[in-house]
Amino acid sequence: MAVEKLQTDVATRVTLQLLDELLDDSVRSKVSVRLWNGITWPDDAPRPVTIVLKHPGALRAMLWPGTEVGLAEAYLYDDFDIEGDVETLIAAADSLAQNIGDWMKKVRLARDLLRLPSGRERQVGRRGPARLSGKRHSIERDRQAIRYHYDVSNDFYALWLDRRMVYSCAYFHSPDEDLDTAQERKLDYICRKLRLRPGQRLLDIGCGWGGLVIYAAERYGVEAIGITLSKPQADLANQRIAEAGLSDRCRVLVQDYREVDEEEAYDALVSVGMFEHVGEALLPTYFSQAYRLLRPGGVFLNHGIAKRLTDPPPKGPTFSDTYVFPDGELVPISTTLRVAEETGFEVRDVESLREHYALTLRRWVARLEARHEEALQYVDEPTYRVWRLFMSGSAHGFTVGRLNVYQSLLVKTDREGRSGLPLTREDWYRTS
């Protein structure tokens, strides 16, 4: 018993020493740390977020791997918990990474971390890290990747998405607007950009739970087809289509975009939040297929997240690739547009919705946190924490400009080079 107390006292002293060394004043003003024995660092004053260390070896479990995945797993599997605003903690983690950047500090950090207990045995969650097989971005492997993320539970997603279950960036008129309104505005904005008219055929590549195809068929009178690699998504989408009385001109299929074989069959194509799954090597295939499916004069709205051209590639596996979007790849917008042009598309408009995605993600996180106990009816605690962490981290990424999201409007001109588009964009912004 005395030995155990001594070990705990040593762990307390080392942990507090490490916190003093690693976390500077900018972090201390926003983040507090509560140890397993109730001691709070740096003091008891309230702050936006508190890190709760669950056992004497918690800090070692967090920092010893020295990787993004290792730090994330310490949270997922409850070496520590987070009370309060996770996004604030993500920003603080950026500062922490800078503070331990030089090799001498890393050596000292490693020496002190080894003085802490090795931790406790973890119970890996039901879902666990992604384990895909087969050739990267083959149709079968892409199916595995999509199912890993999207087949978690329709009920889980329904808890925190809007009523239409739109799982992509909303479009806000003001920062305090509600999510349902902003998501419906986004759907309408896309339809306006595509300039949909009754009788046209629309293909939605990666349609999710069918929110856009239902909206376009109902409000704009088009025949709308959606495709997804997730059968639970397709089943719920088709159920909603039937409930809306739209089965005669709207349906969702379980199909890869490379499997669609209808040359020049569509007046408009749209892809919202699917582009990130394509992979840079497959971009020529993706845009060539879209070009083939469109009729001359047809338009393609490609909505996807992009990384900054100037950012270096990550070192080693990332949390996102391991637990969120396996095989997901972000490319700079310049790469996207270059490949689209090489395919034959004319680029007509490019719009960044970066700030809108930060607002969207914050609403998703708040709604998820508010229904934490309900979420555990459908997923386990580590899975809940994956979504809480990745959405908070993404909100930070969009806020600081590390991430962006673009809507690119592309046109397949006719043989004479005519686009068929009006001279101005004023119809996108009409109020009636």
CATH of 2-113, one of 3.30.1050, 2.60.120, 3.40.50, 2.60.40: 3.30.1050
Give pLDDT tens digits for 53-112.
Answer: 999 999 999 998 888 999 999 999 999 999 999 999 998 887 666 655 565 567 778 888
Query: For residue 2, what pLDDT band results from cuts at 50, 70 and 90?
Result: very low
Hey, how many other C-beta atoms are within 10 angstroms of the C-beta on 308?
14
What whole-number distance in Å separates Cα of residue 32 and Cα of residue 89?
10
Q: What is the pTM of this model?
A: 0.94
Place of tokens 């349902």: 180
Location of each CATH 3.40.50.150 domain in the chain: 139-413+420-429
Hey, how many other C-beta atoms are within 10 angstroms of the C-beta on 20?
12
pLDDT at 22: 86
What whole-number distance in Å separates Cα of residue 173 and Cα of residue 286?
32
pLDDT at 3: 43
* Cis bond before residue 296 (omega within 30° of 0): no
For residue 311, pLDDT over 90 is answered with yes
What whole-number distance in Å separates Cα of residue 305 and Cα of residue 107?
37
348 within 8 A of 411, measured Cβ to Cβ: yes
Mean pLDDT of the chain: 93
Location of each CATH 3.30.1050 domain in the chain: 2-113
Q: Tokens in use for 89?
A: 């903690």
Give pLDDT tens digits for 212-270.
Answer: 999 999 999 999 999 999 999 999 999 999 999 999 999 999 999 999 999 999 999 99
CATH topology of domain 139-413+420-429: Rossmann fold (3.40.50)
